[in-house]
Amino acid sequence: MARAAHAFLLALRDLPHPRVLRVLAQSLALTLLLLAAAGAAIFFGARWALAHWKWLDGAQLDMAGVLIILLIIAGSWLLFRAVAIVVIGLFADGIVADVEGRYYPAAAARAVDVGWRQNIRLALASLVRLIGGNLLALPVYILLLATGIGTPVFALFVNALLLGRDLEAMVLARHPDRPRFDRPARWSLGLLSAASFVVPVANLLAPILSAAMAVHMLHLGKGDPEI
């Protein structure tokens, strides 16, 4: 965990860098655009279905529209991480290359270029793992609802495992000759990343922060940069 904390602090220091801020703005804009487009499609599709099949009409339809909007807002908060991780996957190579170039130039010189096709594959694989992992955990989420706090704690555990795997795959794509992270390193990386997605406002920075943290986790111990 000490190694992950060191990587987290280094990643925080990366945030004000101009190139990182540019990628942050691009990825955040695309994430919000996708969420807005999905929300609009769900809203108008649901309204059309209710009116077309005459399940509701008049005031009931208007009330249903308000309820749909509230559900979309709640769903957007829950889906933000999924969309953000997919979007950041599209920009991943640029972030990783930038952090490596400034902190670990020798490693950056040996890195393999990752094309947009592989970035898309990594992003889609991340999305599949996210959906599949949480669907498998859904029965446990439901059982733990009675505990009050059990569901969010278990969700943090599940998503820490998934995020650690995704972030590891993202940085190792540039360094296929490097060994995989050990389990404690992958777990601590995923846990800090998953926790950053839970905190309001900070979750907007979480995708970039997680990507930079993964780079430092890969290279720490080989000429550690100072905090």
Positions of the chain with pLDDT under 70? 47, 49-81, 200-201, 221-227
Domain contains 128: yes
Of the candidates 219, 199, 197, 216, which has an alpha carbon nearest to the alpha carbon of residue 207? Answer: 197
- Site of tokens 């559900």: 71
- Does any domain span residue 227? no
Q: What is the pLDDT of residues 91-135, one digit of tens each?
A: 777 778 888 888 898 888 888 887 778 878 888 888 888 888 888
Residue 226 lies inside a defined structural domain of this protein: no
Distance CA 184, CA 160 (A): 12
User: Which residues form the domain of 206?
Assistant: 2-219
Q: Give the closest residue to 160 by CA, choosing from 188, 126, 136.
A: 188
Tokens at 187, concatenated: 């777990």
Report yes or no on 71 lying in a domain: yes
pLDDT at position 146 is 82
Would residue 137 count as lying in a domain?
A: yes
Q: Is residue 34 part of a domain?
A: yes
- Tell me how crowded residue 209 is: count the other CB atoms within 10 A of its CB: 23
Residue 212 near residue 20, CB atoms below 8 Å: yes
Whether residue 202 lies inside any domain: the answer is: yes
Name the domain count of the chain.
Answer: 1
* 224 within some domain: no
